[in-house]
Amino acid sequence: MTALPQVVRRSPDRAVETYAEGKPYDLFFLDTAGVRLVGRKTEASYPGPDRDGRPAERLKCTLIEPHMLLGVVEREQVAEDHVAVFHRPLGEEERTALFAAATADPMTDLYYPYAQLGHRVRETDTGGWEVTDESARELDHAEEVLRDYVPDRLAELGFRGGVAYDAACSTGAFLHAVGRRFPGTRTIGQDLSPDMVARARTRLDEAHCGDSIRPAIPEGSADLVVCRHLNAFVVGTDQAHDLLAAAASRCRDGGHVVLLGHTPILISSQWCEMTGLTPVQRSGATPSGHALFQCYVLRKG
């Protein structure tokens, strides 16, 4: 069936976004200040107005900005052939105030309830990605905001280093940033792609090639476990839950597990709580507060 664009219907005090075979996975919910908001992901200013003289680009990425918010959710309906979300539209002043409240609260829950429709190839179906210099640069660039944010946030939460394990380390740039922030940390990466592992070995203390369902380190041996692969367009939802269980088993009691990525996280923070991981935060914000992004920091035990 040919994909249809979203349909928007409005009355004076209500609107509905309907997606039929389109991109319902672009819809996000935001729980903040006692209300539940709905929005639609579009291009954002990346990496934002926080860089020294660097012009920002427009990029569809992990960042959520105020203009993407649509309204206060009244009801959502999932039918056989479409998704519909009814909402009360926001005025500009209300939108700005609610977004400011969201960026100020690290427990703000930003989530994407609807999966990508149709078949897609998983990374594990292909034996990992083939990587070129250009694609490696693009991957590293897409995580720049996250790479800048997470190490400093971990320091604020009391992390002081130790053993840091990235279950899908890609080029190793993210874990390298953690090691640079916490000197003396032993950085251990794992990835399914031999090309990724070859690049990661130039940045990390160890890099292992293999499926993260079989972690390369012993149980309970890591102070920090990073999961950047439990995301839409990488794996499926059921697979993501299995991979989280495998990775979290390698974290020691009292250690931290971080879930993030430049596409939506497939696992809810509520599910993490049910498996014994305590959320310390669910979202992060850019230094300027211009954008919000998913970032689960969880404490084990």
pLDDT of residue 82: 82
Q: Are residues 103 and 61 in the same domain?
A: yes
Q: Are residues 140 and 246 in the same domain?
A: yes
* Contact between residue 161 and residue 186 where contact means Cβ atoms under 8 Å apart: no
Across 62-205, the runs of DSSP E, i.e. the strands, are 69-78, 83-89, 109-111, 163-166, 186-191
- Among residues 85, 111, 137, the one where a domain terminates is 111
In a domain, 191, yes or no: yes
pLDDT at 230 over 60: yes
What SS3 class is residue 241? helix
In a domain, 15, yes or no: yes
Residue range 25-40: mean pLDDT, rounded: 94
Q: Are residues 19 and 131 in the same domain?
A: no
Residue range 38-55: mean pLDDT, rounded: 84
- Among residues 66, 82, 111, the one where a domain terminates is 111
Q: Are residues 106 and 155 in the same domain?
A: no
Q: Are residues 249 and 132 in the same domain?
A: yes
List pLDDT tens digits, range 114-169: 876 554 444 444 555 678 889 889 889 989 999 999 999 999 999 999 999 999 99
Q: Are residues 59 and 160 in the same domain?
A: no
Residue range 33-49: mean pLDDT, rounded: 93
**Count of the separate structural domains present in the chain:** 2
Own/partner long-range contacts of 157-162 (Cβ < 8 Å, ≥24 apart): 157/256, 157/280, 157/297, 159/223, 159/224, 159/256, 161/185, 161/223, 162/186, 162/222, 162/223, 162/224, 162/255
Q: Are residues 40 and 131 in the same domain?
A: no
Q: Are residues 96 and 140 in the same domain?
A: no
What is the spatial distance between Cα 197 and Cα 190, in angstroms, rounded to a whole number? Answer: 7
CATH at residue 217: 3.40.50.150
Across 43-122, the runs of DSSP E, i.e. the strands, are 44-46, 57-59, 69-78, 83-89, 109-111
In a domain, 253, yes or no: yes
- Among residues 91, 111, 131, the one where a domain terminates is 111
What is the spatial distance between Cα 237 and Cα 233, in angstroms, rounded to a whole number? Answer: 10
Q: Are residues 177 and 42 in the same domain?
A: no
pLDDT higher for 147 or 53? 147
Q: Are residues 239 and 166 in the same domain?
A: yes
In a domain, 131, yes or no: yes
The parent domain of residue 106 ranges over 7-111
pLDDT at 210 over 90: yes
User: Cβ–Cβ contacts within 10 Å for residue 51, how many?
Assistant: 12
Residue whose entry in the numeric block shows the structure tokens 């971080």: 258
Q: Are residues 151 and 239 in the same domain?
A: yes
In a domain, 299, yes or no: no
Cα-based distances in Å from 204 to 180, 220, 242, 262: 10, 20, 26, 21
Q: Are residues 71 and 163 in the same domain?
A: no
What is the spatial distance between Cα 186 and Cα 284, in angstroms, rounded to a whole number? Answer: 25
Q: Which residues lie below 8 Å from residue 79, measured CB to CB, with a gap of 6+?
A: none
Nearest to 25 by CA among 112, 85, 111: 112
List pLDDT tens digits, range 241-296: 999 999 999 999 999 999 999 899 999 999 999 999 999 999 999 999 999 999 99
